Chain A
Amino acid sequence: MKFKDYYKIMGVPEDASQEDIKRAYRKLARRYHPDVSKEADAEERFKEVNEAYEVLKDPEKRAAYDKLRGGWQPGEEFTPPPDWDTGFEFSGGGFTGVDATQFSDFFETLFGAASPFGGQRGRRGAHGFSVRGADRHAQILIDPEDSYRGTTRVITLEIPEYDDHGRLVRRSHKLKVRIPRGITQGQHIRLAGQGAPGMGGGSRGDLYLEVRFRPHPVYRIDGRDVYINLPITPWESALGAQIKVPTLGGWVDMKIPPGTQTGTRLRLKGRGLPGQPPGDQYVVVQIVTPEARTEEARRLYKRMAQELGYNPRREWEKVA
Chain B
Amino acid sequence: MSLTFKELSRQIGVEAEQILAMIDEGILEPATGSHMTTWRFSADSACRAATAVRLQQDLRINLAGAALALELLDEISSLRDRVQALEQLLFKDWEG
Mark A residues whose CB is within 8 Å of B.
26, 29-30, 33, 35-36, 46, 97, 132, 135, 185-192, 206, 208, 215, 220-223, 227-229, 284, 286
A132 to B47, CA, bound (A): 17
Whether A33 contacts B55 by the Cβ 8 Å rule is yes
Q: How far is the CB of B88 from chain A (nearest CB, A)?
A: 5
| 16 pairs, CB–CB < 8 Å, chain A vs chain B | A26-B59, A35-B51, A46-B58, A132-B11, A135-B11, A188-B43, A188-B47, A190-B1, A190-B43, A191-B1, A206-B11, A208-B47, A220-B88, A221-B81, A227-B85, A229-B93
The answer, yes or no, to whether B46 is at the interface (CB within 8 Å) is: yes
B11 contact set on A, CB distance < 8 A: 132, 135, 206
Q: How far is the CB of A183 from chain B (nearest CB, A)?
A: 10
Whether A188 contacts B82 by the Cβ 8 Å rule is no
The answer, yes or no, to whether B6 is at the interface (CB within 8 Å) is: no
Whether B82 contacts A189 by the Cβ 8 Å rule is no
Whether B1 contacts A220 by the Cβ 8 Å rule is no
Q: How far is the CB of A294 from chain B (nearest CB, A)?
A: 24
A311 to B69, CA, bound (A): 50
A215 to B60, CA, bound (A): 38
Q: How far is the CB of B46 from chain A (nearest CB, A)?
A: 7
Q: A35-B73, A190-B43, A206-B11 are in contact. Are A223 and B57 (CB under 8 A)?
A: no
A208 to B3, CA, bound (A): 13
A150 to B6, CA, bound (A): 29
Q: A186-B77, A190-B3, A229-B92 are in contact. Are A222 and B82 (CB under 8 A)?
A: yes
A-B complex: 7 closest residue pairs judged by Cβ atoms:
A190-B43, A220-B85, A188-B43, A222-B85, A190-B1, A35-B51, A222-B82
Q: A26-B60, A30-B59, A33-B58 are in contact. Are A190 and B85 (CB under 8 A)?
A: no
* Consensus secondary structure, chain B interface: helix
The answer, yes or no, to whether B31 is at the interface (CB within 8 Å) is: no
The count of chain B contact residues (Cβ–Cβ below 8 Å) is 29
Q: How far is the CB of B96 from chain A (nearest CB, A)?
A: 14
Whether A229 contacts B3 by the Cβ 8 Å rule is no
User: What sequence of 0s and 1s flags, for each residue 41-81 of chain B, a beta carbon within 8 Å of any chain A beta carbon?
Assistant: 01110110011001101111000000001000100011001
A30 to B77, CA, bound (A): 17
Contact of A227 among B3, B58, B78, B86 (CB under 8 A): B86
A187 contact set on B, CB distance < 8 A: 43-44
Whether B88 contacts A215 by the Cβ 8 Å rule is yes
Q: Which residue of B lies closest to A210 (CB)?
A: B47
Whether B54 contacts A35 by the Cβ 8 Å rule is yes
Contact of B89 among A26, A46, A135, A227 (CB under 8 A): A227
A222 to B1, CA, bound (A): 24
Q: A35-B51, A132-B10, A286-B93 are in contact. List 13 more A-B contacts (CB 8 A).
A: A29-B58, A33-B55, A36-B69, A46-B58, A97-B57, A188-B46, A190-B3, A190-B43, A191-B1, A208-B46, A220-B88, A222-B82, A229-B93
Q: How far is the CB of A213 from chain B (nearest CB, A)?
A: 9
